[in-house]
Structure 1
Amino acid sequence: MKNLIIKRKGPGRQFRTISAFFLVLFICKSYAQSEKNLLLLDQETLELFKPQEAKKSGLFSRATTATSSVNNNKEVKEIIDRANKALQKKDHAPSDKNAIPPNGDKREYFSQAPYYWPDPQREDGKPYIHKDGKANPEISKPKKDNIYMAQFCKDIYALGLTYYHTQDEKYAEKAARLLRLWFLDEKRSMYPRFEYGQIVVGKDKGRAMVFADTYGLIDVIDVVRLIEGSESWGETDTNAVKKWFSRLLDWMLNSKIGKQGKAQLNNIGTYYDMQVIAYALFTGQNDIVRNVIDESVKKRIDKQITQEGEQVYELKRASAWGYSVRNLKGFVYIAYMADKVGIDLWNYKTSQGKSIKNAYEWMLPYALGQKKWTKNNANPTKDEKFNDLQRKAANHY
Structure 2
Amino acid sequence: MCPDAKNCSSPLVCRAERILRQKVMTLPDAPAARSPGLPTEFYSEGDYWWPDPACPDGPYIKYDGRSNPRSFNRHRKLLIRQSVQIATLSEAFRMTRSPKFLKKAEAILRAWFMNPDTAMRPHLSYAQAVHRRCSGRSIGVIDSIHLAETALAVRQKTFCEALDPETAATVKEWFARYLAWLTTGSFGQEERIHPNNHGTCYYLQCAAFAHLTENHALLEELRHDFRERLLGFMDRRGAFPAELRRTKPYSYSLFQLNVLSGTAALLSRPEENLFLHVDRQGHSLALAASFLYPYVTDKSAWPYARDIAYWKYWPNQPAFLFLCGYFLNQPAWLRQWRHMRSDLKLFEVIRNTPIRMPRLWISHLLQEK
Asked if residue 132 in structure 1 is aligned to residue 58 in structure 2, the reply is no
Asked if residue 220 in structure 1 is aligned to residue 150 in structure 2, the reply is yes
Mapping 1:259-298, distance limit 5 Å: 259-295=189-225, 298=228
Distance 1:110 1:326, change over 3 A: same
Compute the displacement of 1:296 (Å): 5.6
Instruction: Select which of 32, 45, 49 maps to 1:99.
Output: 32
**Aligned equivalents of 2:213, 2:174: Cα separation in 1:** 10
3-state secondary structure, aligned to 2:145: coil
Kept in 1, the 8 Å contact 2:114–2:170? The answer is yes
**Aligned equivalents of 1:292, 1:101: Cα separation in 2:** 36
Which residue of the partner structure matches residue 241 of structure 1?
171
Mapping 1:157-196, distance limit 5 Å: 157-196=87-126
Which residue of the partner structure matches residue 254 of structure 1?
184
Moved more, 81-90 or 371-380: 371-380
Which residue of the partner structure matches residue 269 of structure 2?
340
Name the amino acid aligned to 1:348: H
**Alignment deviations for residues 326-350 of structure 1 (CA, whole Å, 9 cap, x no partner):** 1111111111111138443212122
Compute the displacement of 1:207 (Å): 1.6
**Aligned equivalents of 1:94, 1:79: Cα separation in 2:** 26
Mapping 1:339-358, distance limit 5 Å: 339-340=268-269, 342-358=271-287
Normalised by the length of structure 1, the TM-score is: 0.74
Which runs of 5 or more residues in structure 2 are unaligned?
1-7, 329-369
Identity of aligned residues (%): 24
Compute the displacement of 1:298 (Å): 2.9
Normalised by the length of structure 2, the TM-score is: 0.80
**Aligned equivalents of 2:28, 2:22: Cα separation in 1:** 17
**Aligned equivalents of 1:261, 1:247: Cα separation in 2:** 18
Asked if residue 112 in structure 1 is aligned to residue 45 in structure 2, the reply is yes
Compute the displacement of 1:186 (Å): 1.6
**Alignment deviations for residues 94-119 of structure 1 (CA, whole Å, 9 cap, x no partner):** 22222146324011111111111011
Compute the displacement of 1:261 (Å): 0.9
3-state secondary structure, aligned to 2:127: strand
Distance 1:340 1:211, change over 3 A: farther
Kept in 2, the 8 Å contact 1:286–1:341? The answer is no
**Aligned equivalents of 2:60, 2:315: Cα separation in 1:** 34
Larger radius of gyration: 1
3-state secondary structure, aligned to 2:144: coil
Distance 1:342 1:120, change over 3 A: farther
Kept in 2, the 8 Å contact 1:317–1:376? The answer is no
Distance 1:173 1:265, change over 3 A: same
Compute the displacement of 1:128 (Å): 1.1
**Aligned equivalents of 1:104, 1:216: Cα separation in 2:** 21
**Aligned equivalents of 1:266, 1:214: Cα separation in 2:** 17
**Aligned equivalents of 1:261, 1:337: Cα separation in 2:** 19
Which runs of 5 or more residues in structure 1 are unaligned?
1-74
3-state secondary structure, aligned to 2:301: coil
Compute the displacement of 1:174 (Å): 0.9
Distance 1:311 1:76, change over 3 A: farther
3-state secondary structure, aligned to 2:218: helix
Asked if residue 87 in structure 1 is aligned to residue 20 in structure 2, the reply is yes
Which residue of the partner structure matches residue 365 of structure 2?
none
Compute the displacement of 1:198 (Å): 0.9
**Aligned equivalents of 2:129, 2:195: Cα separation in 1:** 20
Distance 1:215 1:229, change over 3 A: same
Instruction: Select which of 309, 324, 327 maps to 1:396.
Output: 327
Kept in 1, the 8 Å contact 2:109–2:167? The answer is no
Compute the displacement of 1:77 (Å): 4.3
**Aligned equivalents of 2:160, 2:199: Cα separation in 1:** 32
**Alignment deviations for residues 3-61 of structure 1 (CA, whole Å, 9 cap, x no partner):** xxxxxxxxxxxxxxxxxxxxxxxxxxxxxxxxxxxxxxxxxxxxxxxxxxxxxxxxxxx
Say how many residue pairs are matched.
315
**Aligned equivalents of 1:383, 1:330: Cα separation in 2:** 15
